Structure 1
Amino acid sequence: MQKAYLNRLAPDVRALAEDLEYALGFEIIVKVSQHLPRRAADEPGGLECEVDQSGARIVIPDPDWFPDGSVLHELFHVRRFLLEGIPLLVDNKAYVRWNPCVSSAVTYHDNCMEHLVIVPEELCRRPERLAHWERAIRQVWGTLAVTASHEADCRPGALVNWAFIEHVLPDSATRREAVTVLDRLGFREAAACFADALAPVLNDKEKLVKRWFEHLHLQPEMASLRYLNVWDNACRETPLNIVAAAARSGAQRNQRPAR
């Protein structure tokens, strides 16, 4: 990481960045993009990370906007995808109904899955970040409350954000409002089942993706799992429908009676 940015970080975040760079064998680059969306009235925009088999970049909206907690969050993403080998969920360009909205939706779902694992650790290190996530989830449920008449469109967002409350912010002040919206939509039981189904597989991305798509009624053909190997400079993508077919084939072989 460029020294000007590295020196602005708290000692523990700076140590995490340096440890990641040492383990990965390259520098994590900070780059500025003014096209990042504004997430709050008092913030110029959120941070993002970009990863591939040859490097990692933390994207910031302004050279002066480099908040410590947000950098920590993005470093956790980098660690999972590049050091721990957790696959990314990406859009499958071969999907017959592909369009830019499909790509955005897949990115959204991957981010939501990752947050179920990353944000609890983030809050352990930075308890003051609770206010940020409370504000974010309050805004989400406020929007869902307004659009609650469009049931089919609301279902994935309602279930996903209920899972975030259950697994990350169980004591959230927004919990009561979320329950009210779920009841109005008739999704309360489905949301509870979804959150419960995710609990045992949060640390297994492949199983997590499978349950995620099943409960949200998403088409597996729309997405792939992307595995990045920085040491071999390699990238491998497997469409989810192929992953699912292989899993079914393996299960059938295991069920064949011995002769």
Structure 2
Amino acid sequence: MQPEYLDRLNAPVRNFVLEVEQRAGITIQVIPDQGLNRGGPLGQGNLAVVIEDRRNIIFAPTNGYFPDGAVRHELLHLKRFHVDGVPKLAAAATPWGIPAISPDAIGALDNAIEHIVIVPWELQHHPERREHWEAVLQDVCDGLSDIPLAELRLAISMHCTFLRHVLPGSRQAENVRAFAVEHGIFEAADQFAGQFLQAAASKENLVRLLFHTFPEIPKEHAAMEYVSSRTGVIQKPIS
């Protein structure tokens, strides 16, 4: 990471940057992006990350938003994939080079899975970030009625799982629960949340649980994608 950005971080996060870069064999580049200036649930800005075998970028607003907790969040994503060897859930490569499933949709689902795992670590180091995640859940609650019916069971199950394992006691929990009860899917969502925790030690097991519980997701068009600066990108089918 460039010195001008490292110098803006506190010592623990700065050391974490250097540790991830060294262990992963990568250099993290920060690129300013004015389009992120008003992003995030609080309108203060947001960070975005690209994680590839040869290119690892944190995009940051130009308004000065570069908080330690948000940077650690992106570093935790990088560490999971590059250092811990955790695979991404990704659109499967096809012989004609065009994914048969939306990479954005499958990437958003993978991000939701990863957040349930890494946000507790983020909050442990940066409890002030709870305000950010409470605001994220407020946005979720505001948009519950807009979720397409075909996606409702999966979306509510993921929201319930996040609330149960990441933000227990959140003021948004009752709103999501009431919505799920109204639509007759709370018991199934709550059961999935319990199973998620049991499988959380293995991303592969989590993905198997996901496709077993939600067979409407086209498993044949998805893959487990392992990213490494040393071995490149390797996709494996989902068993």
TM-score when normalising by structure 1: 0.84
Alignment check: 8 A CA contact 1:147 1:154 kept:
no
Contact 1:32/1:63 (CA < 8 Å) preserved in 2? no
Residue in structure 1 matched with residue 32 of structure 2 by the alignment = 32
Contact residue 10 and residue 68 of structure 1 kept, 8 A: yes
Structure with the bigger RCO (C-alpha within 8 Å, sep 6+) is 2
SS in 2 for 1:226: strand
CA displacement at 1:27 relative to structure 2: 2.0
Structure 2 residue matching 1:90: 3-state secondary structure: strand
Residue number in structure 2 paired with 1:83: 83
User: 1:138 Cα shift?
Assistant: 1.7
The residue matched to 1:228 in structure 2 has which SS?
A: strand
Give the partner amino acid of 1:171: G
Distance in 2, Cα, partners of 1:39 & 1:98: 30
User: What amino acid is aligned across from residue 57 of structure 1 in structure 2?
Assistant: I
Give the superposition deviation at 1:210. 0.8
* Structure-1 residue corresponding to 2:44: 43
DSSP-derived class of the 1:181 partner: helix
Aligned counterparts of 2:141 and 2:173: Cα–Cα separation in 1: 9
Q: Pick the structure with greater CA Rg.
A: 1
Report how far residue 97 of structure 1 moved. 7.9
Shift of 1:192: 1.0
Q: Between 23-32 and 80-89, report the one with greater CA deviation.
A: 23-32
Between 30-39 and 76-85, report the one with greater CA deviation: 30-39
How far 1:93 moved relative to its partner? 4.2
- Report 1:1-259 matches (<5 A): 1-36=1-36, 38-40=39-41, 42-44=43-45, 46-62=46-62, 64-94=64-94, 98=100, 102-144=102-144, 146-147=145-146, 150-217=148-215, 218-232=217-231, 234-240=232-238, 244=239
Contact 2:41-2:132 within 8 A present in 1 as well: no
Structure 1 outlier segments of 4+, above 6 Å:
none
Structure 2: tracts of 5 or more residues without a match? none
CA gap of 1:13–1:175, structure 2 versus 1, over 3 A, is: same
Structure-1 separation of matches of 2:154 and 2:100: 19
Instruction: For residue 121 of structure 2, give the secondary structure of its aligned residue in structure 1.
Output: helix
Q: Contact 1:50–1:56 (CA<8 Å) still a contact in 2?
A: yes
Q: 1:97 to 1:20 in 2, by over 3 A?
A: closer
Q: Structure 1: 5+ residue runs without aligned partners? A: 245-259
Q: CA deviation at 1:41?
A: 5.2
Letter in 1 for 2:182: R
C-alpha distance in structure 2 between counterparts of 1:178 and 1:188, whole Å: 9
The alignment-based identity, stated in percent, is 31
